[in-house]
Amino acid sequence: MTEPNPTRVAVYLDFDNIVISRYDQVHGRSSFQRDKTAGFHKHPGRLTQAVVDVGAIIDYASSFGTLVLTKAYADWSTDVNADYRDQLVGRAVDLVQLFPAAAYSKNGADIRLAVDAVEDMFRLPDLTHVVIVAGDSDYIPLAQRCKRLGRYVVGIGITGSISKSLTAACDEYVSYDALPGVPEVKTEAPKKRRTKADAEAEPEQPDPQAGATALLQRALSIAHGKDDSDWLHNSAVKAQMKRMDPSFSEKSLGFKSFSDFLRSRTDLVELDESSTIRMVRLRNLD
């Protein structure tokens, strides 16, 4: 009996991106650059509070198949990044050294990472999945190119620093906070007193639960329009939702399973759980 073709995964981490984004998520916007300029030694414990669990990222990436290469891009001469070297080397991560061209310029991680990823896809034609660990919109062309070359693209980023356009460019996107084993982040209260002008300038964040309900309704309407049968497989509905919004995750909404997510929306859907194959349809479909 022939074994099915194995899935082979390449992981690329813009390490500066996720370390800075995690720090700003925990301590407030632009906190990393302010504390770096002042000296992290003046704020003991803040780096530890915002530490990134690299193991959680790599473990999640391994759920897609065999990891054939994992590369992390950063300036490893800085103390902040150097503290992660043992953890990364212990997980067989290839550390790619980058040097900023000037004090205020980018470190070029996006360019080097993209060049390496495309080269690796041609060098290793059996790669099936590409995992991009970053939230920067600069990676949109890379995600699109990977998909055109037939790879399944997974994105991982830090909440608050994720480009919606990058999310849409991936086949699947998950926030770092939603990964198994990552503790819930405790953000600091803003030190600056907010004024009325600040409140007006800051757009209201959409309700993720309402957004998920609307996504479910659209997915079911599309599926019913393409399928003559009244009832649809749960898995097919979830797959359609993921195609429409790669960042959708029932677990990030507080549900243990997709079935639990559907049960919370029985005003919109009907469920048939009479067999091991779970079925769903829109209410008042007739």
pLDDT of residue 88: 93
**Residue 2 domain-assigned?**
no
Residues 213 and 278 in one domain: yes
Quick one: pLDDT at residue 192?
54
- The distance from CA 284 to its chain's CA centroid, rounded to whole angstroms, is 35
Give per-residue pLDDT as tens, 58-103.
989 988 989 999 999 999 988 899 999 988 998 899 999 987 655 4
Adjacent-strand bridge partners of 129? 9, 152
Encoding tokens for residue 232?
A: 């649809």
Check whether residue 263 and residue 163 sit in a common domain.
no
- Boundary of a domain, candidates 178, 198, 224: 178
From CA 254, how far away is CA 22, in angstroms rounded? Answer: 21
Residues 103 and 223 in one domain: no
Q: How many domains does the chain have?
A: 2
Q: Is there a single domain that holds both residue 169 and residue 34?
A: yes
d(CA 256, CA 170): 24
172 and 213 both lie in a single domain: no
The count of other CB atoms within 10 Å of the CB of residue 50 is: 20
Whole-number pLDDT of residue 2:
45
Does residue 273 sit within a domain? yes
pTM of structure: 0.76
CB under 8 Å to 262, separation ≥6 — which residues? 216, 234, 269, 271, 280
| Phi and psi at residue 206, to the nearest 5° | -65, 150
* 136: CB partners within 8 A, 6+ apart: 14, 17, 110, 161, 163, 166
Are 166 and 222 members of one domain? Answer: no
Q: 238: domain range?
A: 208-282
Flag whether 197 is in a domain. no
Residue 143: per-residue pLDDT: 96
pLDDT at 18: 94
Spatial separation of the C-alpha atoms in residues 54 and 167, rounded to whole Å: 21
Question: How much is the pLDDT for 41?
Answer: 77
Q: Mean pLDDT in each 10-residue stretch from start to end of the chain (286 residues)?
A: 72 94 92 89 85 91 91 92 91 89 59 94 95 94 96 94 92 89 68 52 71 90 77 90 87 90 93 88 76
CATH code of the domain covering residue 22: 3.40.50.1010
Residue 270's domain is classified under what CATH number? 3.30.420.610
For residue 34, being part of any structural domain is answered with yes
Say if residue 142 is in the same domain as residue 226.
no
Instruction: Give me the pLDDT at residue 70, please.
Output: 96
Closest to 91 in 3D by CA, of 182, 188, 13:
13
Q: Is residue 190 part of a domain?
A: no
Q: Could you tell me if 112 and 253 lie in one domain?
A: no
The answer to the question of residue 262 being in a domain is: yes
**195 assigned to some structural domain:** no
pLDDT, residue 103, reads 46
